């Protein structure tokens, strides 16, 4: 896939790349002008002592260098446009893969931003000197040919030097490739540990855990420093060796040239010309070694992104858009395992709900309640079975369109940077004041918002720390009710609500039912089951009971009485 993606971008940026190649050809051809100028000065101007000839040659050299500067600027700008274009073309797909990966693969030990760092490394490499070094590498052959033309001893000396430099480059690749992979892995784990410590900062301070957590997180620092030190030391040593050998080689070529002049086999101008040409021939190799770490990082990032773009491809937009759902919600033999695990948290659940019905889901902790509603919402994909809405599976809608028909209040309500109004409107750029206020009123939140210093324009930071837990939950309810969703899902949405909030939540559920919607709510508080019409009981991931609320509650009460009677009989027998 990475080769196919590479070919796609080669075709897309063909004009820019052709411009880069043409500019590189002209730049490298113009290098010979400086060499020719040296030879003419030493072999023609100095013996003739002609000042007009010297000035004429120098004037032409200025023009050549001016063109060189223009071509270099053109090449750099073309490469920068390619780098920016590749970044812009990949950004949305990479961002989609970043946010989708944990939903499909589960949480891991990285910070989840590896794909973003890979994209950054590709952009940095393309916008830097690395591609220029690779483009100039074939010109090493041309400079070698000219050196052989001047004298075969000069060409042979430069060739041997180039071979040694190439060996250094290959050795550098082998030494840094594995280290770069390890550094990327440790960087992700280190960042994830730091972010987790930041989220836990308040509890850590309150319970005297800060120093222990710092020591715990510090283990990643040791690994990071060790790998970073290894890579930096390797790059410094090999880069230093490369530069030193390059200077030594130029001196060696000067020496060889001097011997040829003494032997009468070359002119004085050949000495300087061969030194300049050998330096120019080795420059791309030297530059490639200096940028090798960036090349390795970009190449590794490109491979990971190519795989990610296939594994987490955004589904194509459907040509036929289904109408807003208004019918039955049905679950058929649903089996769901949380992402990254093979253990089913929901096993073979089936039931159906009609418009105007509200289902309460109850059961002990770890019964699979949250897993079930995440499958109903399409957040997690079921391993077996299906969820149908209006007779269609959820994947028959575009995710953005389907999400507009649903409202969801999770156990922990997170807000984004923005105003309360923007958070309620789900950051919809086309949101109207009427729709925002209607959602707030449906959640019983309108008067509370008006009491805030800036009303609906009150700014919230990420997490909404300016609001209490109950207020955030009420804002989450208003957000869920925005644009009157057909399906409203509440996962313990009353956990932080006071009596007024409970009343608002009950009214919201009744409001959705009255307009023909469906409500599913998880709760541990029996008092909140009043607005529900049906009840589902989960235990161990299985549906142990489902039916009308009163019938299920009556059955549960009878079972509880039977268990108490049986327990009393056992105690009597023991006595």
Q: In the sheet where 542-548 sits, what is the strand order?
A: 406-409, 487-491, 518-522, 358-362, 534-539, 542-548
Tokens of 514: 């009255």
Phi, psi angles (nearest 5°) of residue 413: -85, 120
Q: Residue 410 CA to chain centroid, in angstroms?
A: 24
Q: What's the confidence (pLDDT) of residue 574? A: 47
Q: How many helices (H) and strands (E) does the chain have?
A: 20, 12
Convert the pLDDT of each residue in 224-258 to its tens digit: 888 878 777 777 777 677 777 777 877 787 788 78
Phi, psi angles (nearest 5°) of residue 497: -90, 145
Neighbours of 163 (CB within 10 A): 11
Residues 6+ apart with CB under 8 A from 78: 16, 17, 19, 20, 23
Q: What's the confidence (pLDDT) of residue 419? A: 93
Residues 6+ apart with CB under 8 A from 249: 157, 158, 161, 278, 282
Give start and end residues of each alpha helix (H) in 425-468. 433-442, 446-450
Q: What's the confidence (pLDDT) of residue 563? A: 59
pLDDT of residue 334 exceeding 60 = yes
Q: For residues 133 and 125, what is the distance between their CA atoms, to the nearest angstrom?
A: 11
pLDDT of residue 1 exceeding 60 = no
Confidence band, pLDDT 50/70/90 cuts, at residue 195: confident
Convert the pLDDT of each residue in 71-82 to its tens digit: 888 988 999 999
Q: What's the confidence (pLDDT) of residue 456? A: 95
Q: For residues 180 and 303, what is the distance between their CA atoms, to the nearest angstrom?
A: 14
pLDDT of residue 165 exceeding 50 = yes
Q: What's the confidence (pLDDT) of residue 478? A: 96
Convert the pLDDT of each residue in 312-329 to its tens digit: 888 888 888 899 999 999
Convert the pLDDT of each residue in 442-452 to its tens digit: 999 999 999 98
Phi, psi angles (nearest 5°) of residue 108: -130, -165
Average pLDDT over residues 45-51: 79
Average pLDDT over residues 255-280: 76
Q: What's the confidence (pLDDT) of residue 243? A: 73
Convert the pLDDT of each residue in 78-114 to its tens digit: 999 999 999 998 998 898 888 888 888 776 555 567 8
CB contact at 8 A, 555 and 536? no
Q: What's the confidence (pLDDT) of residue 296? A: 79
Confidence band, pLDDT 50/70/90 cuts, at residue 526: confident
460-465-471-473 Cα dihedral, nearest 10 degrees: 100
Winning range, highest mean pLDDT, from 277-291, 374-388, 519-533, 559-573: 374-388
Average pLDDT over residues 270-276: 74
Q: What's the confidence (pLDDT) of residue 107? A: 64
Q: Residue 245 CA to chain centroid, in angstroms?
A: 41
CATH class (in words) of the domain with range 1-312: mainly alpha
Neighbours of 119 (CB within 10 A): 23
* 3-state secondary structure (DSSP) of residue 490: strand
Neighbours of 180 (CB within 10 A): 22
Q: What's the confidence (pLDDT) of residue 358? A: 97
Tokens of 105: 């693969």
Q: What's the confidence (pLDDT) of residue 43? A: 73
Convert the pLDDT of each residue in 481-501 to its tens digit: 999 999 999 998 888 888 888
Q: What's the confidence (pLDDT) of residue 2? A: 63
Q: Whose structure tokens read 């060996």?
A: 167
Q: What's the confidence (pLDDT) of residue 566? A: 54
Q: For residues 409 and 426, what is the distance between their CA atoms, to the nearest angstrom?
A: 13
> For residue 361, with 0-12 CB atoms within 10 Å meaning exposed, 13-18 middle and 19 or more buried, which class applies?
buried
Q: Point out the least confidently predicted range of 97-111, 339-353, 386-400.
A: 97-111
Give the pairing type, strands 346-353 and 518-522.
unpaired
The larger pLDDT score, comparing residue 355 to residue 10, is at 355
Q: What's the confidence (pLDDT) of residue 406? A: 95
Q: What's the confidence (pLDDT) of residue 573? A: 46
Winning range, highest mean pLDDT, from 264-273, 299-308, 460-469: 299-308
Q: Point out the least confidently predicted range of 183-187, 253-257, 360-364, 569-573.
A: 569-573
Give start and end residues of each alpha helix (H) in 344-495. 369-376, 399-404, 420-424, 433-442, 446-450, 469-481
Residues 6+ apart with CB under 8 A from 304: 114, 115, 118
Question: What's the full length of the chain, in residues?
Answer: 575
Q: For residues 11 and 17, what is the distance between their CA atoms, to the nearest angstrom?
A: 9
Average pLDDT over residues 51-80: 86
CB contact at 8 A, 342 and 105? no
Rounded to 5°, the CA angle 418-423-429 comes to 85
pLDDT of residue 467 exceeding 50 = yes
Which residue from 29, 10, 189 is spatially nearest to 108, judged by alpha carbons?
189
Which residue from 36, 28, 32 is spatially nearest to 269, judged by alpha carbons?
36
Q: What's the confidence (pLDDT) of residue 353? A: 97
Confidence band, pLDDT 50/70/90 cuts, at residue 412: confident
Q: Point out the least confidently predicted range of 48-57, 112-121, 192-201.
A: 192-201
Average pLDDT over residues 417-437: 93
Q: What's the confidence (pLDDT) of residue 145? A: 82
pLDDT of residue 569 exceeding 70 = no
pLDDT of residue 384 exceeding 60 = yes
Considering the four listed CATH numbers 3.40.50.720, 3.40.50.300, 3.40.50.150, 3.40.50.10440, the one that applies to the domain covering 329-409+485-573 is 3.40.50.300
Considering the chain, what percentage of its residues have pLDDT values greater than 70?
93
């Amino acid at each position: 896939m990475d080769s196919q993606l590479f070919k796609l971008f080669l075709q897309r940026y063909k004009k820019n790349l052709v411009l880069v190649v043409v500019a590189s050809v002209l730049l490298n051809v113009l290098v010979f002008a400086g060499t020719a100028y040296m030879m003419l000065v030493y072999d023609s101007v100095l013996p003739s002592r002609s000042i007009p000839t010297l000035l004429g040659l120098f004037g032409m050299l200025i023009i050549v260098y001016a063109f060189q500067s223009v071509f270099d600027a053109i090449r750099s700008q073309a490469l920068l446009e390619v780098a920016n274009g590749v970044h812009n073309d990949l950004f949305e797909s990479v961002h989609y893969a970043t946010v989708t990966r944990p939903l499909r693969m589960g949480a891991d030990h990285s910070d989840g931003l590896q794909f973003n760092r890979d994209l950054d490394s590709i952009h940095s490499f393309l916008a830097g000197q690395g591609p220029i070094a690779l483009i100039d590498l074939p010109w090493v052959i041309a400079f070698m040919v000219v050196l052989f033309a001047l004298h075969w001893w000069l060409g042979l000396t430069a060739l041997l030097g180039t071979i040694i430099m190439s060996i250094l480059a290959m050795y550098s690749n082998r030494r840094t490739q594995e280290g770069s992979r390890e550094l990327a892995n440790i960087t992700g784990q280190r960042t994830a540990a730091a972010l987790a410590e930041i989220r836990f900062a308040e509890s850590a301070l309150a319970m005297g855990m800060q120093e222990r957590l710092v020591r715990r997180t510090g283990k990643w620092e040791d690994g990071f420093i060790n790998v970073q030190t290894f890579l930096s030391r390797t790059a410094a040593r090999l880069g230093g060796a490369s530069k030193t050998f390059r200077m030594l080689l130029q001196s060696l070529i000067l020496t060889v040239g001097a011997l040829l002049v003494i032997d009468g086999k070359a002119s004085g101008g050949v000495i300087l010309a061969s030194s300049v040409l050998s330096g120019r021939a080795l420059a791309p190799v030297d530059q490639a070694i200096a940028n090798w770490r960036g090349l390795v990082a970009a190449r590794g990032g490109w491979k990971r992104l190519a795989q990610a773009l296939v594994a987490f491809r955004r589904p194509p937009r459907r040509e036929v858009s289904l109408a807003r759902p208004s019918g039955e919600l049905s679950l058929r033999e649903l089996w769901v395992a949380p992402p990254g695990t093979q253990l089913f948290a929901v096993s073979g659940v089936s039931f159906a709900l009609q418009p105007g019905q509200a289902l309460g889901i109850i059961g002990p902790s770890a019964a699979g309640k949250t897993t079930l509603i995440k499958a109903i919402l399409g957040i997690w994909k079921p391993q077996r079975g299906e969820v149908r809405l209006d007779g269609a599976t959820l994947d028959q809608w575009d995710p953005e369109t389907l999400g507009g028909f649903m409202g969801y209040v999770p156990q922990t309500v997170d807000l984004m940077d923005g105003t309360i109004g923007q958070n309620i409107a789900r950051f919809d750029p086309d949101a109207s004041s009427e729709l925002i206020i209607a959602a707030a009123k449906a959640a019983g939140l309108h008067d509370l918002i008006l009491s805030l210093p800036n009303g609906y324009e009150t700014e919230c930071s990420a997490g909404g720390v300016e609001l209490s837990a109950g207020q955030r939950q009420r804002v989450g309810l208003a957000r869920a009710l925005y644009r009157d969703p057909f399906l409203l899902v509440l996962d313990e949405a009353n956990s932080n609500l006071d009596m007024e909030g409970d009343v608002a939540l009950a009214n919201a559920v009744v409001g959705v039912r009255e307009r023909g919607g469906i409500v599913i709510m998880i709760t541990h508080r029996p008092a909140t089951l009043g607005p529900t019409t049906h009840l589902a009981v989960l235990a161990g991931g299985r549906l142990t009971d489902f039916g009308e609320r009163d019938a299920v509650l009556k059955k549960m009460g009878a079972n509880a009485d039977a268990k108490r009677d049986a327990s009393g009989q056992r105690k009597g027998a023991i006595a």
